[in-house]
Structure 1
Amino acid sequence: MERKGRRRNRPKDDFEAVLTMDELNSVVIVSYMMVLFNKMKYGSPERDHGIGFVNPSLILPKDIGVLGVLDMKSNTCYYLDSLSSANFNMQLKQIVDSTMVLYATQSGSNKRIKLNWVNVTCPVQPGGTECGYYMLRFMKEIVEEGIEVLVKDNIGDGKVEYTTDDIDEIREEWSEFVTGFIYR
């Protein structure tokens, strides 16, 4: 019998998985992206706007609050930054532009794709820890409202920053998705 407070000896092939906060943020973001992808794919047909999300945290870990939205129909990349509405992240711009050239080459297209970059006005986070939630909220609005919300430069419906309720909605949807995934 094992005493309380003592750890039992584990076999050598057991291991512990430890995630850093950055890795956990990436897991949350990628899993919520799956929620939104399913809404686009299996929701009503009018939700398929020919767009794709660029998650810079997979490329540039310091830019978790930045979102790129590619509209392949108009060759436009909409840029949203929850920390500032200033200029584009030039490293991200170069990576996405290079990827589009590679895409055109691999798809056999002779067409040179030059993206039109649009800096979208969006709510700006009040602190330094809301980046991921802001990015996810941007994505949710785009999926639900369509590409028009970007074209009309109306992310956040004119809000300067999101409310706690806006962010809690993201947390709730994500937790429902994860719970459903784990317990199915």
Structure 2
Amino acid sequence: MCINCALHSKSKSKSSIIPWMKIKCPMQTNGIDCGYIVMQFMKEIILANQDMIPENYFGDYKCKTYSKDKLVQVEEDWATFMVEYLSEFHFLFQQFSFAFFN
């Protein structure tokens, strides 16, 4: 019954019920750094290791953009992760191939 009422309610759309916040986060200064900026920002949020994001987390964010050095660090971290991941995958593939074909 409640689900039916919610599905057929015409008073408000779901988007008008949700309190949307404007999020302040680092912005790219060119047309190519977007992915690196998103990855770094996500990493910072995850490493904050909190059960919930405080309401003032984004409002207190002071960094308008990341420095070139910070973006190079993100590139290096990503490359290191991929090399380690692919090395482990290659090792597991070799073990599987050896066990399967012998």
Smaller-chain TM-score range? 0.5 to 0.7
Q: Which runs of 4+ in 1 moved over 4 A?
A: none
**Structure 2 gap ranges (5+):** 7-13, 89-102
Select the structure that is richer in helix: 2
Report the identity percentage.
26
Which of these residues, 18, 29, 37, is aligned with residue 126 of structure 1?
Answer: 29
Between the aligned partners of 1:122 and 1:177, the Cα distance in structure 2 is: 24
In structure 1, runs of 5+ residues without a counterpart are: 1-108
Alignment of 1:167 onto 2:32: no
TM-score (norm 2): 0.57
- Give yes or no for the alignment of 1:136 onto 2:63: no
Query: 2:74 aligns to what SS in structure 1?
Result: helix
- Count of residues in Structure 1 that have an aligned counterpart in Structure 2: 74
From the CA coordinates, give the structure whose radius of gyration is larger: 2
Structure 1: which amino acid aligns with 2:67? T
Which structure would you say has the larger RCO, counting Cα contacts within 8 Å and 6 or more residues apart?
2
**More strand by proportion, 1 or 2?**
1
- The TM-score normalised by the length of structure 1 is 0.34
